[in-house]
Amino acid sequence: MLEIKSVTKKYNDIKKKYNDPTGKYKPKVALNGVTLTIGQGEIVGLFGENGAGKTTLMKCILNLLKFKGDILLDNEKITRKNAARFSFATCEHSFFPELDAKGHKQFYMEEFDTFREKRFDSLMDFFSLPLNKRIKTFSAGQKNQFEVIMALCQGADYILMDEPFAGNDIFNREDFYKVLLGILEENETVFLSTHLIEEVSGFVSRAVLLKEGELIGDVKADELDDKGVSLTDYIKEKYHYEYDRVGKAIERLAEGEER
């Protein structure tokens, strides 16, 4: 079980800090007391607007950032001893660009006893990715696919994905969701950050919502289905979305042009 307890993360902007004549500079709060528990076998969607703290939360889980609070995996802190139970697919990419796919496979097999070789071969074949081309020569969409494949094949219990589908067309994304549902085992957990809410609404089993670094929503997909509420509408409600905001903006623009 992954337990996130009262996690707070602040970022200092050094330039603003030392150029603030008032002396009242305050660091940006990226996460503010986030508490969350994720059990194995869940497919959790992490949602929120840009700057809500989604990427920061994932990097804190992976112990890539210093933070206040506690993050525990089966009652233990995340260290080098248990870090291999996590994998990470990020749109920033974490592969070796000069290596080809075959080289990555060999490296992962040497580093991770849990590496899923058959899954790797099947996914590479499914997405028609070449084994002998350097990853830096892949298209943007192919790089994202490869990043996700490596995260899925490492053999981790918790698979974190941060906007992994940027640059992929809708058909590839739909195919990926179907394949993922078909290959995941009961002990594998996916924690997926994305803006593609409607696309993943039928894929995630739970939705977690951040706003300005705070947890403002946590709901099971079954609960929304029972209420007849879509995931998109749930998020809009939690964000207090103004349905007439577009109309109001157009009116203001029109008024400005008339003047």
Tell me the two tokens of residue 27.
């660091």
Tell me the two tokens of residue 158.
């918790």
Reduced to 3 states, what is the DSSP secondary structure of residue 51?
coil
Query: What percentage of the chain exceeds 90 in pLDDT?
Result: 60
CA 163/CA 40 separation, integer angstroms: 21
End-to-end CA distance of the chain: 60
Q: What is the mean pLDDT of residues 205-213?
A: 94
Q: Bridge-partner residues for 214, per DSSP? A: 211
Nearest Cα neighbor of 35 from 82, 78, 70 is 70
Looking at residue 203, what is its pLDDT? 85
CA 133/CA 100 separation, integer angstroms: 5
Which tens digit of pLDDT belongs to each residue from 55-104?
A: 999 999 999 999 999 999 999 999 989 999 999 998 777 788 899 999 99
The overall pTM is greater than 0.95: no
Contact of 204 with 222, CB cutoff 8 Å: no
Of 246 and 19, the structure prediction assigns the larger pLDDT to 19
CA-to-CA dists, residue 175 to 76, 143, 198, 209, angstroms: 36, 16, 15, 25
Contacts (Cβ under 8 Å, ≥6 apart) of 103: 96
Reduced to 3 states, what is the DSSP secondary structure of residue 144?
helix
Q: What is the mean pLDDT of residues 32-50?
A: 94
Count the Cβ atoms, other than its own, within 10 Å of residue 43: 20
Tell me the two tokens of residue 121.
């071969």
CA 242/CA 151 separation, integer angstroms: 38
